[in-house]
Amino acid sequence: MPQDISSNSIYIEKSIEHIFLSALIQYAWKENLPQIEIASSEIDNNGYDVILSTGGITRFVQLKSSAITSKRNRTEINVQLQNKPSGCIVWVWYSRADLSIQSFLFYGNKPGKKMNDISKFKNAQATRLTAKGVRPVRMHTKNIPKSYLTRVVDISSLYKILFGKQQRVTYPVAGSPS
C-alpha cells in the first residue's frame, strides 16, 4: 500500500522531479536528439526549479506535481518566472499507486519567447492566517487557473513544446575511431 502523499510531500515532489527529468533525458537519448543539460535552482526565489538546455534553447522551468485524483484547479507561480527567457510551468500529473507520470499541463510560450504576461491573474494568499485571522496577499505570487494551461499527453509532445524541432545527432560508438 502506498504511503500517505500529504505526509511525504517533499519526498514525492523530489521523486516526481527525478522521474520527469529521467523521462525527458531518455526520450532525447532514444530519439538521437541533443543531450539535455540540467541545472537546479538551489533556492526557489526566482520562480524556477530547473534550467533545461538543449539545441540552443534554454528553458527556466517551474515544476509542479499533483496526483491524478487531485481536485486542484490552480497553481501558484512566482512573478519572477515571466522575466526569464523561455520561462514556463510544467505541471506533472502522476499516479498515486506507483508515481508513474500520467500527463502534463504546460504554461508558457514557444521556445525562445518570453512567457505571456501574468499580471491579469489574482495574487495568491498566504496559507497561514495572521494573528488577526487574515490571510495576507503574496504580492510576488500569482494564482494561475488550470484552464489556462495546455494539456500534454506524453513526454515526446512535451519535449517538442519545450524545445521545438531539434536536429538528430549521431554519437560515436565506443571503441570506433573518431
Asked whether residue 134 is domain-assigned, the answer is: yes
Q: Which of 39-48, 51-60, 98-107 has the lowest mean pLDDT?
A: 39-48
Asked whether residue 115 is domain-assigned, the answer is: yes
Mind listing the pLDDT tens digit for each residue in 86-105?
999 999 999 999 999 999 99
Q: Which of 124-133, 140-149, 158-167 has the lowest mean pLDDT?
A: 124-133
Q: Is residue 7 predicted with pLDDT exceeding 80?
A: no
Of 79, 83, 73, 57, the closest CA to residue 149 belongs to: 73
pLDDT of residue 10: 84
Percent of the chain past pLDDT 90, that is, above it, reads 69
Residue 28: CATH number of its domain: 3.40.1350
Give the highest mean pLDDT range of 4-13, 84-93, 126-135: 84-93
Asked whether residue 178 is domain-assigned, the answer is: no
pLDDT of residue 175: 65
Range of the domain at 56: 6-163
What's 122's DSSP letter? P
pLDDT of residue 46: 83
Average pLDDT, the chain: 89
Which one has a higher pLDDT value, 143 or 2?
Answer: 143
Element (H, E) at 23: helix 9-30
In DSSP notation, 46-95 reads SS-SEEEEETTEEEEEEEEEEETT----EEEEEGGGGGSTT-EEEEEEE-
Q: Which of 49-63, 105-119, 157-171 has the lowest mean pLDDT?
A: 157-171
Q: Is residue 53 predicted with pLDDT exceeding 80?
A: yes
Measured distance CA(104)–CA(92) in Å, rounded: 5
Instruction: Taking residues 114-126, report their average pLDDT.
Output: 90
The total number of structural domains in the chain stands at 1
Output the CA angle 24-59-149, nearest 5 degrees.
80
